[in-house]
Chains A and B, each alone.
Chain A
Amino acid sequence: MKLLPALLSHYRRHPLQLIALVVIVVLATGLWTGVWELTRQARHSMEQSEQAIASRYQVVRTDAQPVTVADFVGLRRQGLCVTPWLEVRRPAPEGQVIGVDILSMGCFQEQGEMASPPDLNQAPFVDIGEAVRIAGQGHDSRLRLLVASAGAAVPDAYRIRPVPGGLSTGELADSFLLNLDALCVLVLLITALLVRSVYNLGLVQRRSSLALLLRYGVPAGRLRLYLIGELAVLAMLAAVPGVMLGRFLSQAFAAGFGQAMGGLFDVSLYAGGNQWISYLLALLAVFLVVIWCALDALGLAFAKGQTSRPGARFYGMFAVVLILAGVTGTVLSQALWQVFVAVSLVLVGTGLLTPGVLSRLVDWLAVRGGSPLILWSRRELAVMLRRLALPAVALQLAVATVIAIQALVATFESTFLDWLEQRLQGDVYIEVPAGASLRPALDYLAEAPEVTAWHRVQRGVASLGGRRADLLALDPGSELLQAWAFIEAVPEPWSALAGGGVMVNEQLARRENLEPGDVLSFSIANASMRRPIVAVYADYGRPVDEILLPHSALPDIFTPTFSSLSVQIAQNDVPVLRQQLTERWQVKNLTLRDNDQVRQLARGVFEQTFSLTRAISVLTLILAGCALFLMGWVFFTARHWYYQLLQVWGLSRRELRWRLQLQATGLTLLVAIAALPPGIFLTWVLVARINPLAFGWSLPMAVYPLFWLEMLAICGAIGLAIAWLVQGTIKSRAPAPLAATHIEGAER
C-alpha cells in the first residue's frame, strides 16, 4: 500500500475538511497581507510627511503681504535657498495637493537640510504649475516659500518663521495608527488561532485512520513527516491566492484611505514601495502557524483519546491567575510594552477560561431543566462548547476585537468632532495679517448686519517656572465659546475665567498633576501671575502645554505671535466678508477659512479613514464566522446520528429542527455574550491606557450597546446558518449503526 494515497484518501472521504482548511488559510493569508500592507503604507507615509515637515521654515514678508513668485525670484537671485510650496485645499475625493518646484530644490540637499527628502514624485505633490491650475478651479491655495535653514540671513523686508501646523492633528494621527497596529496584531493572533483550530479538528477526525496506518506497520516517524509535508504543501498552495486576495484588499482600500489621511493629517499614502515585505511577512505568519499545527500533528496524532481532562480545574485556576495578573498589570503599567504584555495575559486567560466556564454554566442549567429533552439539549451544548473550544474562543476574541475597534472608531470620531468644534468656533476663521491693526476690522464687524457674533483669539508664549507653554487668549463672554466641553471644570467656568481664573489643557494637567482649584504660577511678557485653575480642556493631538486666559488678563506689553478672529454670520456670505476685510486691511491675500466647509471636509475624510478599520473588523468577523461555521458544520454533521436517533425515538422533524437551531444559536450567542467583557476591556485599554502612555492625553471612554446587539444578531445568524445546513443532512430514515471509529475519543 502506498502511504501518500492512503493518507490523502481521508480528504477524498471528507472533502469538507480540505475545503475548510484551504478556505481558512486563504482568508487568513489575505487578511494578514492586506492589513499589514495597509498599516505599513500608512506608517511609511507618516514618516515621509514628518521628514517633509521637519525642516519646514518659511520666509514671510515683514509688510504682511503674501509672498509671490517675484519674492521667490528676488530671494533666489540674492543667493538664498528657498523653494515654493503651494498648498491647494481641495475637497475629497481628490484631496489636498501640494505644488512644488523640483528644479529649485537642489540647494536643500546641498545644504544638508533634506538628507532624505520626501518622495515628491507622487501624490499629493504635483508640479507647482499644475497646482496653480487646480487652484484656479476655485480652491483655496496658499503659497509659502520654504527656506532650507532656519538660521539663514534674509533681506530686511523678510523674516523666517516656522510653518504653522494649521489644522494638522499630529498626534491624533499617531495615536490612531498605534491603536490600529495593536488591533492588527490581535487580528493576526486570532487568525492564527482559527487556522490552528480548523487544522486541529481535522486532525482529531483523522485519528482513527492514522492509527489504522500505524497498525499496518507504517513507521510513526514517516507518518509524521508525511503529515507535516502535506500540511506545508497545502499551506503554501493556499497562501498564494491568499496573498493575492490581500493585495486586492489593500489596493482597494489604499486609495480611499490614503486620500483620507492625506487630506486630514498631512499624511500622504503611497501605494508604491516594497510590497514584497508584506507578502513575505504573511507567508512567514503562515509558516509559523504551520509549525504550530505541525506540533499538533507530532503530538496529537497518535495520542490516546482525551476523554477527560484531569487538569481542567488547574487550567481554570491558571486562567483566573492570568486574568488577574493581566488586569493588574494593565492598570499599573508605566510603559506601552508592559500594557501589551498585560493585555495578552488577560486575553490568554480569557481564552482558557471561557469554554470551561460556559460549559459548566450550561451543565449547571441542564440539571435544573425540566424535561429530559431539555436536559439532553443543554448537555449537548455543553459538550459542544468543550469540543469547539478553540474556534469558539477565536470567535469570542474576534467579536471582542470588533467591539473594541468599533468603540475606538466611534470614540475617535466623536472626539475628533468635538475637537474640531472647539477649534472651529464660529462660521469663519480669519487670520489677522501680521502688523495689521485690528481696529478697521472690529469697526466693520460691529456694524456689519451679516455678522451675528464674533470674538478674537490671540496666541503667544507664557513661561511656567522657566518652561515654555503656549498661551491662548479668548473673550470668556463670547457666545461662540459656550459649546466647549471640559474634562474637569468648576461650575460656570467661563465666568470663573473672567473672574481671575486660568484654564489649562489636558497635557499640562497630566504632566503637572493639576486639577481645578489648584493655583498656577506663570509669567507672560515678564509679568508674574498666580491664578486658580478653573477648567481642564481637551486639546487633542498637541504635545505642548497650553494655558488659556481672558484678553483682559494679558499685560499691556504683551505682543501676540498670532491673532485671528472667529466670526458667526447670519447668511453664508463669506465672499462679502472677505472683500470687506481685504479692503479694510488693504491686503491682497487674506487668510479666511469657511469653517463649515472645513467641518464637512473633515467629517468626510474621517468617515473615509474609518471605513478602513471597519473593513478590517468586518473581515476579522467574517473569518471568525467562517471558521466557526465550518467547524460547527463538521461537528454537527459528525453528530447527526444522535439527532436522527432522536427522530427515531419520536421527536417530530419540526421539533428536531427547532432543537438544532436552539443549540447552534445558543452556542454562537453564548460566545458573543462572552465576548463583551474582553471587548469592553480592550476598548478601555486602548483609550484610557495606551493613549495616555503613548501621547499624554486620553480619549473619553464610551460603550455602544446597540452595536453589541448587532454583534449578537450576527452571531445568531451564524448559528442559524449552521443549523440550516445541518438539518438538511438529517434524513427521516433510521440511522445506520454507529461505527466505532466515529465515537472513539468523543464525548457522549
Chain B
Amino acid sequence: MNRLSGYRSVWLVVILPLLTACSPADQPEAGFAGLGAQLEGRSEEGPDFLQPAPGDRVSLPRDLGPHPQHRFEWWYLTANLTTSEGVPLGLQWTQFRQALQPRSPEQAPPPADEWPLQSAWMANAAISYQGEHVFQEKLARGDIGHAGARAEPFQVWLDDWRIASLVAEGEDSDHERWALSVNTRDWHYDLELSPRRDPVKHGKKGFALKSETGQASMYFSYVDLAISGTVTIAGKTHRVAGEGWFDREWSSQFLQAEQEGWDWMALHLDSGDKLMVYRLRKQDGSSFRFGTWIPRRGKPRALRGDQLTFEVAGSRQTELAEVPVEWRVRVPLAEVDIRVEALPGNYWNRGVFPYWESPVRVWGSHQGRGYLELTGYGDTE
C-alpha cells in the first residue's frame, strides 16, 4: 500500500542531517520542498529515477529484491496473531529503502570502503499486546552491507533484524517459507511465515494508481501468510500463531503536494476473503480511493474509487492528534458493508515520523480482523 506521503517526511528527517552534515553552510529549509529540491537537483545531474509506467509488470522472484533505479521501496508485514493463551497479539515489521541517486540493477554499487551514500535504509517494528504498543526504528546506509535486500534467496536485513527465505537454493520454491527475526533490548520475536496463496498484484498487474493525474507505484502483496513462532515482551515469551499480510511496493514519485496523508487497511475476513482499501486525502477534503477485493476463490478484483465507500465512523483522542479509529467500508459489488475499529489502546509508531498503525476488528456484513494505518494526522506534517 501507499506510504509515499508520510515517508517523504521520514526521509526528510533522515536525509537532512546527512546533507547538512556534508555541507554545514548549506542549510536546506526544513520542509518537504527542501528535500524535494535536493533530490530533484541530484537527478538532474545524473540519470533519472525510473518511473512506474502502466505497462510495467511484476516479476517474481526478482521483484522481491531491491530496485535501485527507483527512488524508494518497502517490504512490509502486518500480522494478526493469537498467543497460546488465546490473547490477540498484533505485530508489524517494515523495511524501507530511499535512494539518493538512481543506479541501474546491472551497475555494481560503489566499493563499501568508500562508505558510499547512494541510499539509506530504515527498518521499524512494533508489537501490540493487551493494549500496550512497543515500537523501535533503525537506520543504516546502503551498499556497504549494513542493510540491504536480495531476491534470491530472499533476504531483507538491517543489523540483526532480518527476514530471509528458509528454502535452500535449488529446493522447490513453490513452498516458500520465510523466517523473520527482530531483536531489541526489551522485546523480540522470531517467526516463520508461509504464503498460502499466490501474491496479489494490485491495480493493473501491479501498477497501482495514487492519484487521478497518474502518480503510481508498483504494488503486490502476499495477502495470506500462515505465521507461527515466539514473541518475547515484558520478559515473557509467548508462542504465537495467526495470519499475516506482506506488501511489496516501489516507486519514484512523491505524492502531489495537496495530498496530506492516507488511510489504509488490509483485512482478513472470516469468510476467507481479503480486502485492501486505501484513500489519499487531499487538503480540500476530497480523496483518491483505491482497493483490491480478493475473494476466497477466484481472481482478485481492483476497486476504483466509485466502487467503494470509505467513511470515518468514530475517532479517538490521543496525545498527538484526534485519530479516526472507526470506519464504515462498503464494497457493493462484493456485498461488503462492514465496520472496522482499532482495538482499544494507543498505536502511534513514534519514530522519526509518527504514524498510527493498529490491529483492527471487523464486524457487520462480515467478521474479521486486520490492520489499519493512518498518516498525516499528527502535527509533524
Most buried by A among B18, B21, B22, B141: B21
**Least Cβ distance of A66 to chain B in Å?**
11
A126 touches B22 (CB 8 A): yes
Interface residue? B212 (CB, 8 A): no
Q: A126-B21, A130-B22 are in contact. Are A77 and B116 (CB under 8 A)?
A: no
B residues 110-155 touching A (CB-CB < 8 Å): 112-117, 120-121, 136-141, 144-146
Query: At the interface, yes or no: A123 with Cβ under 8 Å from chain B?
Result: yes
Mark B138-181 against chain A: 1 for CB-CB distance below 8 A, else 0: 11110011100000000001011000000000000000000000
Tier of interface size on chain A? 20 to 34
Partner of A127, one of B21, B137, B140, B159: B21
Q: Is the CB of B20 within 8 A of A129?
A: no
Instruction: Tell me which of A72, A84, A107, A120 contacts B21 (CB under 8 A).
Output: A120
Given that A79-B159, A101-B141, A102-B18 are known contacts, is A69 also in contact with B112, CB under 8 Å in the complex? yes
CB distance B18 to A103 under 8 Å?
yes
B338 at interface (Cβ–Cβ under 8 A)?
no
- With CB as the reference atom, state the residue of chain B lying closest to A99: B115
Kindly state whether residue A70 has any CB partner on chain B within 8 Å: yes
Q: Contact at A103–B14, with CB atoms within 8 Å?
A: yes
CB contact under 8 A between A128 and B159, given known A104-B140, A111-B185, A121-B20: no
Verify A127–B22 contact, CB threshold 8 A: yes
Residues of chain B within 8 A (CB-CB) of A78 are 160
Do B139 and A69 have beta carbons less than 8 Å apart? no
Q: Does A161 contact B (CB under 8 A)?
A: no
Measured CA separation A126–B25 after assembly (Å):
12
CA distance A79 to B113 in the complex (A): 21
B24 at interface (Cβ–Cβ under 8 A)?
yes
List of A residues within 8 angstroms of B145 by Cβ: 69-70, 73, 77
Question: Which of B113, B114, B139 contacts A103, CB < 8 Å?
Answer: B139
Chain B residues whose CB sits within 8 angstroms of the CB of A14 once the complex forms: none
If the complex has contacts A84-B115, A104-B141, are A121 and B157 also in contact, measured as CB distance less than 8 A?
A: no
Evaluate contact between B183 and A127: CB separation under 8 angstroms. Answer: no
Q: Which residues of B are found within 8 Å of A390, using beta-carbon distances?
A: none
User: Does B17 count as interface, using CB distance less than 8 angstroms?
Assistant: yes
In whole Å, how far is B6's beta carbon from the nearest beta carbon of chain A? 19
Tell me, rounded to whole Å, the shortest Cβ–Cβ distance linking B105 to chain A.
Answer: 22
Whether B117 lies near A129 (C-beta < 8 A) is yes
Query: Which residues of chain B are within 8 angstroms of A133 by Cβ–Cβ distance?
Result: 114
- Known contacts being A72-B146, A126-B21, A127-B22, is A104 close to B139, with CB within 8 Å? yes
A155 CB–B CB distance under 8 Å: no
Q: Is A229 an interface residue (CB 8 A)?
A: no
- Among B13-32, those with CB < 8 Å from A are 14, 17-18, 20-22, 24
In the assembled complex, the CB of A187 is this many whole angstroms from the nearest CB of chain B, namely 31
Q: What residue in chain A is nearest B114 (Cβ atoms)? A: A132
Known: A69-B144, A103-B140. A129 touches B115 (CB 8 A): yes
Interface of chain A residues 496 through 544 with chain B (CB within 8 A): none
Q: How far is the CA of A78 from the CA of B22 in the complex (A)?
A: 29
Q: Which residue of A has the minimal Cβ distance to B27? A: A121
Q: Which of A71-113 contact B (CB under 8 A)?
A: 72-73, 76-79, 84, 86, 99-104, 106-107, 110-111
* Known A106-B137, A106-B138: A121·B115 in contact at CB below 8 Å: no
Which residue in chain A gives the minimum CB-CB distance to B14?
A: A103
A69 adjacent to B113 (CB under 8 Å):
yes
- Binary per-residue interface labels of chain A (120-143) against chain B in the complex, 1 for a CB within 8 Å, 0 otherwise: 111101111111110000000000
Contact for B146 among A76, A102, A129, CB less than 8 A:
A76
Name B113's contact: one of A68, A107, A121 (CB within 8 Å).
A68
Task: Report chain B residues within 8 Å CB of A131.
Answer: 115
- Taking CB atoms, residues of chain B closer than 8 Å to A100 are 21
Task: Tell me how far the C-beta of B124 lies from the nearest C-beta in chain A, rounded to whole angstroms.
Answer: 11
Q: Report the Cα distance A77→B144, complex, angstroms.
A: 12
Minimum CB–CB distance from A136 to chain B (whole Å) comes to 9
Q: Which residues of A contact B114 (CB under 8 A)?
A: 129, 132-133
The distance from the CB of A417 to the nearest CB of chain B, in whole angstroms, is 33
Question: B160: which of A79, A86, A129 is its contact (CB, 8 Å)?
Answer: A79
CB distance from A158 to the nearest CB of B (A): 16
Complex contact B137–A103 (CB within 8 A):
no
Per-residue CB proximity of B1-16 to A under 8 Å, as 1/0?
Answer: 0000000000000100
For residue A130, which residues in chain B have a CB less than 8 angstroms away from its CB? Answer: 22
Which 9 residue pairs of A and B lie closest in terms of their CB atoms, listed nearest first? Answer: A79-B160, A73-B145, A103-B139, A129-B115, A128-B115, A69-B112, A127-B22, A129-B117, A76-B159
**B residues neighboring A (CB under 8 Å):** 14, 17-18, 20-22, 24, 112-117, 120-121, 136-141, 144-146, 157, 159-160, 183, 185
A to B CB contacts below 8 Å, 5 in the list: A72-B144, A76-B160, A103-B139, A106-B139, A110-B185
Given contacts A121-B24, A129-B117, 13 further A-B contacts (CB under 8 A): A69-B145, A73-B145, A76-B160, A77-B159, A86-B115, A100-B21, A102-B17, A103-B14, A103-B120, A103-B140, A103-B141, A106-B137, A132-B113
List residues of chain A with CB under 8 Å of any chain B CB: 68-70, 72-73, 76-79, 84, 86, 99-104, 106-107, 110-111, 120-123, 125-133
